Each structure stands twice: as C-alpha cells, then as structure tokens.
Amino acid sequence: MELSVDEEDGTFTNISLADDSEHLSGRLSSKEERAHSAMMNADMDAVEAENQVELEEKTRLINQVLELQHTLEDLSARVDAVKEENLKLKSENQVLGQYIENLMSASSVFQTTDTKSKRK
C-alpha cells in the first residue's frame, strides 16, 4: 500500500498498488471528491438532457398522432357526406328515369309500332 499526501489540505489518501482504479469506498480527498462530484453531475446532466430530448420527441409524436386523428375524423365525415349525397342523387336519378319513361310512353312519337296488327 502506498500513501500519498494531498498538498492542499495535508490529508493522506490510501492508494492500492494492486488496482490502479480509485477506491470509492475509502475516504476520498477533496480534489477527488470534487472530481467525482463533477463527474456525477455531468452524468446526471447528460441523463436529464437525454430525458428532455425523449420527452420532446414523445410530445412531438403525440401531437402528430392527434393531428392525424383529427384528419382521419375529417376525412371520415367527408366520406359519410359524399355517401349521403350519392344516395340522394341515385334516388333523384331513379325518379327522373321513371318520369322520362312515363313521358315517353305517353307520347305518340315514342310509341312502339306493332307491325303485325297493321298488316292484318
């Protein structure tokens, strides 16, 4: 085991020769604590920034879905209106067709000629 002296505050820090990584379980010097705290804050800031980006993306997607739902509702209402108009026009066409047939049957110009009865 090696001892080192932190020159700022004169404290000793235990450093293991077997492992080059810092031992967080032991007492850290104020420099190490500040560095560790800064790293933790940076990690937390990165996580918060990532969460913010995800939240903005979710909000954008939700708004897009709502907009598409409204568009679908508008299109569905339009299709229903066109179907109703189509049925109305079909009914009017049937009435007009029947009216034209009645006029044609009442008119002598459109009467069918029976050739057999004229020959007799």
> What pLDDT is attached to residue 37?
78
- For the stretch 65-74, pLDDT in tens is 999 999 999 9
Q: What is the pTM of this model?
A: 0.45
Specify if 38 maps to a domain: no
Q: How far apart are CA 120 and CA 103, in angstroms?
A: 29
Count structural domains, the chain.
1
Specify which of 2-6, 25-29, 101-105 reaches the highest per-range mean pLDDT. 101-105
Specify if 73 maps to a domain: yes
> What pLDDT is attached to residue 73?
98
In the predicted model, is pLDDT for residue 53 greater than 90?
yes
Query: Which regions of the chain does DSSP assign to beta strands (E)?
Result: 2-5, 12-15
End-to-end CA distance of the chain: 138
pLDDT: which is higher, 31 or 66 = 66
Specify if 70 maps to a domain: yes
Specify if 6 maps to a domain: no
Domain that holds residue 93: 44-105
Specify if 26 maps to a domain: no
User: Which residues, other chains included, contact 104 with Cβ-Cβ below 8 Å and sequence gap of 6+?
Assistant: 110
In the predicted model, is pLDDT for residue 15 greater than 80?
no
Write down how long the chain is: 120
Specify if 3 maps to a domain: no
Specify if 29 maps to a domain: no
- DSSP character for 22? -
Specify if 69 maps to a domain: yes
